[in-house]
Amino acid sequence: MVFSPKGGISKELARLIKAAKTDILVAAYAFSSKYLGQALSAALKRGIKIRVLLDGDNARKSYSIDEWLVGEGIAVRFIEIKRGSLHHKFMLIDGKILITGSYNFTNESEFRNHEAAIFTNHKGLIQSFATEFERLWSQCTPTESPVQPPIDAEAAGSS
Question: Would you please indicate which residues are annotated as catalytic (active-site) residues?
Answer: 87, 89, 94
Alpha helix (H) ranges present in the chain? 9-19, 34-45, 56-59, 66-71, 107-111, 123-138
Q: Can you tell me the distance from the alpha carbon of 157 to that of 25, in angstroms, rounded to the nearest whole number?
A: 36
Closest by CA position to 71, among listed 116, 48, 35, 41:
41
Which residues have C-beta within 8 Å of that of residue 100, sequence separation ≥ 6?
A: 88, 89, 90, 91, 117, 118, 120, 129
Nearest CA to 80 among 139, 28, 135, 27?
139
Distance (Å, whole) CA 121 – CA 73: 28
